[in-house]
Each structure stands twice: as structure tokens, then as C-alpha cells.
Amino acid sequence: MSQNTIVRFVKRPQGFVDESSFAIEPALMPQAADGQILLRNFYHSLDPYMRPRMTEMDSYIAPFDVGQIMEGGGIGVVVESRHPDYKPGDVVRGMLQWAEYQTAMPGGFMRKLESSGAAWKDYLGVLGSASLTAYVGLTLIGQPKAGETLYVSAASGAVGSIAAQIGKIMGCRVVGSAGTDDKIAWLRDELGLDAAFNYRTVASMDTALAAHCPEGIDIDFENVGGETLQSVLDRIRPHGRIIMCGAISEYNTAGPGLKRIFRIVSHKVRMQGFIVSEHFDMMPAFSAAMTGWLKNGKIKYRETVIEGIENMPKALVGLFRGENFGKLLVKVGPEPN
């Protein structure tokens, strides 16, 4: 009788990802070796960066191997410990397997998580890596000045919604786009963005950005790439900054390619990529700032919590189709007492 369930990555997708890239399997309970801990995972985070890991590309993180157990940011509780610094009941956050139970060697990105009073899921959500990504990208790369125009693509997403609100806190005029009218209403009416538009229903990105950013764009928090990035580049202002956080439009299809690159020269643009894992040293500063902003009501957030490990493939596919709203989490087991 199996006591564990895992999700394997079984096929590299061609174009759009569907559930056939994954297999949900029963498995035996793993046994902790010396120096290891046995974890019962209870929350998992689903994120856009998982798509490029499904491709055999040279990237900052090794591609998923076909046949391996999927992994991603998660939170688990120690069930059994053969590591001197961990005891049953300790909660850890790190790169965890898509598994109900797993063994792990703590260290690296895997750390004990001490709750400061927030709900456990918030440590993967509004206090987690996606929000840190927004904070690092905007402050370190974007360096916003009050009065500048910030455009955020995928503005209702886990990263975009936080980037947009930090932009408001820093005095920017913030314009966002998303793919449904209820997301747009939320951006405008609840998050207080200066303008927001539904990229699926506007005549074109060009006309939408021309209407909502009539004086051009100083800072672009880029999550999408493709046509979106082209429209941004075509109206970036002198000394503009393009924060390259993601390019979700490229993950599934090749796209048309970015033209009129000369504008990077003529407008003295800085287009810069970053990976949040190189900036985990900013986590304490970020946590302190975010905790304050949450307390003052300056940052609001939405999340979608899916229940059950067996729903993870479907939820991830939905993420790439823009079906979720805010941060996407999966509850794979009960929270510890």
C-alpha cells in the first residue's frame, strides 16, 4: 500500500504545456538517511519560471530532467529528523518536491521558518519569493523616482501586483495590464493604480499604451516579453529602465522578435535581468518593509489556493493560460498544529 503521492515531470512540452507533461503516482514513504529530515509538505507555490525549466535550455537553474519528481518553492513540516539542528514539528521553506512526503538535506535555499505571526501560506505568498522578486526588481534595477511612469505587465499576478503597489508607494504613476475585466477592476479600484487595461480586449498594445502612458514609460516591470515589450520599447523615455523579470509570452511560443533595438541606444535605456535567488540577502529588509506595508493597508494581495497534490499539473497549466488571480498556491496537506 502506498503512503505517498508524487508528481513526476514526464515529457518536455512543445509549445503550450498541457497535463500530459506530468504523471501523478503513488509512491512509498521515503526514509531519512543520516543528516536528512523527513518532511510532510503542506503548501506549494506555482510560478511562471517553471515553464522555462521544462525546456532544455541553458539557464540560471538546471532544466527539469524528464522523469524527475517536479519541484518548486514549498513549505513542509519535519516529521522525523536525523539532522542535529531540526526536530519534528519544525517548519521549513525551500525548494521542495511535488510530493506529500520527501526526505531532504537542509541547507542552501532550505531554511527553518520561524513564524512572525503571519499565516503559513503568506510565507510562500505575500511574504515569499514572488513578492521579494517584485521588491528587488523595482528597487535595485528600476530605481524609481517619484513622478515617473511605471508600467507593469501581468499586473494582477503574484509579482506584478506587488511591483505595481510598491511603485505607488514610491510615488510613481502606475499603469498595469492584465487579461480579464475583473482583474482590471481590482487593479484600479482596490490597488489604486492610475490606469489599467485588459490587453485581450484593447485594439492593440500600441494604442493602449499610447492612451494610458501619453508621455511615455520611464520604468517597465517586464513579465511578458513579445508584443508587450515591443510596445514598451517603442515608447520608453530617455534613461528608461526595463526590469527584465520574465518573458512569459516566449515560454510557449517563439514570438516575433524585438525590433527597433536602436531605441536602447538613442534613449539611453537600461534593460536588465535579475534572478531573485541571488538577492536573498535582501529578504530581511524586504520582510520588514512588507510587514509594515501590510499593517498600514498599503499593500493588498489576492491569492488562489488549490487543494490537493493531484490538482497541481492542472493548476500550473492554468497559470500559463492566465486563469488564476494573484498568487497561486496549492495546499497539499493540512497545516501543522
Give the separation between CA 217 and CA 68, rounded to whole angstroms: 42
Give the separation between CA 210 and CA 270, rounded to whole angstroms: 21
Q: Quick one: 160 exposed, middle or buried, by C-beta within 10 A (0-12, 13-18, 19+)? A: buried
Out of 23, 258, 282, 289, the residue judged to bind a second copy by CB under 8 A: 258
Query: Contact region for a second copy (CB under 8 A) — 18-26, 31-39, 193-201, 237-245?
Result: 237-245
Residues 219 and 239: beta-carbon distance below 8 Å: no
Out of 152, 205, 271, 329, the residue judged to bind a second copy by CB under 8 A: 271
Residues 146 and 217: beta-carbon distance below 8 Å: no
Under the binding rule (CB under 8 A), the answer on residue 270 touching a second copy is yes
Out of 12, 87, 200, 268, the residue judged to bind a second copy by CB under 8 A: 268
Query: Contact region for a second copy (CB under 8 A) — 28-36, 160-168, 260-268, 296-304?
Result: 260-268
Cell numbers 512509498: residue: 28
Closest to a second copy by CB, 272 or 291: 272
**How many residues can be counted in the chain?**
337
Give the separation between CA 222 and CA 152, rounded to whole angstroms: 6
CB count within 10 Å of CB 169 equals 15
* Residue among 102, 100, 94, 96 at smallest CA distance from 123: 94
Under the binding rule (CB under 8 A), the answer on residue 267 touching a second copy is yes
Q: How far is the CB of 238 from a second copy (least distance, A)?
A: 7
Instruction: Output the CA–CA distances (angstroms, integers) from residue 211 to 105, 179, 204, in the order listed.
Output: 53, 18, 11
For residue 228, give the 3-state DSSP assignment.
helix
Out of 179, 273, 318, 322, the residue judged to bind a second copy by CB under 8 A: 273
Q: Which amino acid is it at 267?
A: H
Closest to a second copy by CB, 106 or 225: 225
Query: Contact region for a second copy (CB under 8 A) — 108-116, 123-131, 195-203, 263-271?
Result: 263-271
Residues 173 and 147: beta-carbon distance below 8 Å: yes
Q: How far is the CB of 53 from a second copy (least distance, A)?
A: 10
Give the separation between CA 30 and CA 335, rounded to whole angstroms: 20
Under the binding rule (CB under 8 A), the answer on residue 264 touching a second copy is yes
Under the binding rule (CB under 8 A), the answer on residue 210 touching a second copy is no
Query: Contact region for a second copy (CB under 8 A) — 37-45, 170-178, 189-197, 258-266?
Result: 258-266
**Site residues (CB under 8 A) for a second copy, limited to 213-232:** 225, 229
Q: How far is the CB of 264 from a second copy (least distance, A)?
A: 4
Instruction: Output the CA–CA distances (angstroms, integers) from residue 55 to 13, 64, 116, 225, in the order listed.
Output: 8, 8, 38, 17
Instruction: Output the CA–CA distances (angstroms, integers) from residue 330 to 102, 122, 164, in the order listed.
Output: 16, 12, 24
Out of 147, 262, 296, 337, the residue judged to bind a second copy by CB under 8 A: 262
Out of 56, 278, 307, 335, the residue judged to bind a second copy by CB under 8 A: 278
Closest to a second copy by CB, 10 or 95: 95
Q: How far is the CB of 63 from a second copy (least distance, A)?
A: 11
Under the binding rule (CB under 8 A), the answer on residue 244 touching a second copy is yes
Under the binding rule (CB under 8 A), the answer on residue 269 touching a second copy is yes
Query: Contact region for a second copy (CB under 8 A) — 17-25, 50-58, 116-124, 286-294?
Result: 50-58
Closest to a second copy by CB, 15 or 297: 15
Residues 71 and 96: beta-carbon distance below 8 Å: yes
Binding site for a second copy (CB under 8 A): 52, 57-60, 225, 229, 238, 244-247, 250-251, 254-275, 278
